[in-house]
Each structure stands twice: as C-alpha cells, then as structure tokens.
Amino acid sequence: MKSAFYYKTKKVTLNLVIHLFLLSVAVTCLYPLLWMVASSFKTQETIFRDISLIPRQLHFQNYYLAVSESNFGRYLINSIFYTVSVVLGIVFISSLAAYAFSRLRFPGRNIIFIVFMAAMMIPIPGSFVALFVLLNKLHLRNTPLGYILCMISVGLSMSIFLLKTFFDTMPRELEDAARIDGCSKIGIYRHVALPFARPVLAVVVVFNALNVWNEYVLALIIFDSKNLMPLQRAVMMFRGEFLTNYPLLMAGLTITALPIIIVYLLMQKYIVKGVTQAVFG
C-alpha cells in the first residue's frame, strides 16, 4: 500500500513540472518583448553585437527621433480615433445583435446567425477586393468612415459569437424581475444584459482594439492620403529598401505596443473571467 509520503511527493513533483512548463512558456512570450525594449535603447552598430537585455549605454534619443522624424503624432491621433470608433461601433452593434439572437424569437434567426458565423471562416485578405469595389461605389474609399465601417464588419462575427454564448447563460429570472419593475426589452438589454456581460465585453474590447491598433494592410489599400494612415505607417517608415534603422524601429514598436499593454493590464481580471465564462459557460 502506497504511503502518504508517496502521494505528497507525486503531487509536489507534478506541480513542479507544471509550473516549470508554464514558466518556460511565459519566458518564451516575454523575451521578444523585452528584447524589443532593450534594442530601442541601443545604436545601429551595437544592436546585434550587444545581445544583453540591459544595454551598456542607454540611448534615449531613439525615442525622440522616432516621434519627431515620422509624423508620429498625426498617425497616433489617427489610430486612437480609428480604434475608439471601431470598438464602440462593434460593442454597440454586436451586443444588440447577440442579445436579439439569444433572447428574441423571430423568423430566420438561426439562418442569420449561421451566416454571421460562416463569415468567421473567410480570411480577412479574401475580402479586400470586394471591400475595395464596394467602397469605390459608395464613394467612401480614402475616407475615415469607409475604413471604420470595414473594420467594424471585420470584428462583428467573433464578437457576436462571444456575446451570444454568454447571454445564453444569463438567468431568465433576472429578465422576469426587470419586467416586473416595468423594464422594456431595451431596458432589460441596457440595465440587465450589458452589466451582466461586462467580462465578455472586456474581451471584445481588448481583442478588437488589438486588431484595429495593429492593422495596416487594409489601410494601405483604402487610403491614398498618407495623413489618414494609422500608426503602423510611422513604424514602417524606419524600414528602408536597403537599410533598416532597427533602434528607431524598436523604439517606434515599443511606443506602439504600450497603449495596448496598458489596456490589457487594466482589464486583465475581466478578460480572464470573460474568456472562461464564454468558453465553459
């Protein structure tokens, strides 16, 4: 018969293996980010010779040059405007649609929902030609509105899926209590469904904000004017045809990544809870 010491040793060993594995995954994910930050303080001559994460000499002027030489402020304002507009549009439309798919009964509900889900299987580059032609016909190409509408359509399917899955788990007793208090369907959506879905809304916000913030290819197709381009345009300016200024590129990437990292850290608790409830119910 196996002793208590055996089971205790087995448990400790298993926990040690799991934690070592998770630690190795964390280091693998964090190292490129730390190398990017460290490289932003180096020079073009030392960036590949000095492989340490703590540079011998910090060159803060890389950040000044990255901001001043690439019209960085203009592109930053554009990206903030696009990201906020797209995320607000996706949250509003997808939450209404998901609540309708989950709680309302109307003809064609399942078919329409399947169509939305089928759109998730279409790769984004596969729709570029159709979007280009459509925006041309609507005279929305090379306009912020056209770009915002395209990005909203890109993020709707996944957002509706996550929110509908979550609304399906919402207790109907909450709706019944709201009806007794005199709430209409819109009132229930506003005062019951949205507060209840706060964790999943955080997931929708972060995922779509990350998608819009890092998007560049669609903007390159839609926009002719450089003044309308998002922040990734400023980063690409440090990559030349024959020579890439890597320290300035790393400084630009660090500044670009910082807002999304801050948003993720502020909403981390809701993201973990939202993903868990959306996936496992």
**How confident is the model over 66-70, as a mean pLDDT?**
77
**Structural domain harbouring 230:** 61-280
Per-residue pLDDT tens over the stretch 101-122 = 888 888 888 888 888 788 777 7
Read off the tokens for 181: 């208090």
**How confident is the model over 215-230, as a mean pLDDT?**
87
Per-residue pLDDT tens over the stretch 135-159 = 889 888 999 999 999 899 888 888 8
Question: CA nearest 200: which of 281, 116, 118, 136?
Answer: 281
Please indicate, yes or no, if residue 163 is contained in any of the structural domains.
Answer: yes
- CATH number of residue 227's parent domain: 1.10.3720.10
pLDDT at 278 > cutoff 70: no
Of residues 247 and 87, more confidently modeled: 87
Please indicate, yes or no, if residue 55 is contained in any of the structural domains.
Answer: no
Please indicate, yes or no, if residue 116 is contained in any of the structural domains.
Answer: yes
Please indicate, yes or no, if residue 26 is contained in any of the structural domains.
Answer: no
Please indicate, yes or no, if residue 23 is contained in any of the structural domains.
Answer: no
Alpha helices in the chain (DSSP H): 4-39, 61-68, 72-103, 109-118, 128-137, 144-167, 172-180, 185-188, 194-196, 198-213, 217-222, 232-236, 246-266, 268-280
pLDDT, the chain, mean = 83
How many structural domains compose the chain? 1
Please indicate, yes or no, if residue 7 is contained in any of the structural domains.
Answer: no
b/e per residue 23-39 (b: at least 16 CB within 10 A): eeeeeeeeeeeeeebbb
Please indicate, yes or no, if residue 49 is contained in any of the structural domains.
Answer: no
The pTM for the full model equals 0.81
Please indicate, yes or no, if residue 4 is contained in any of the structural domains.
Answer: no
First to last CA, the chain: 40
- What's the rounded Cα separation, in Å, for the pair 120 and 122? 6
- What's the rounded Cα separation, in Å, for the pair 123 and 125? 6
Residue 154: Cβ within 10 Å count: 20
Question: CA nearest 205: which of 259, 246, 281, 168?
Answer: 259
pLDDT at 86 > cutoff 90: yes
What is the maximum span of the chain, computed from C-alpha positions, in angstroms?
A: 79
pLDDT at 266 > cutoff 90: no
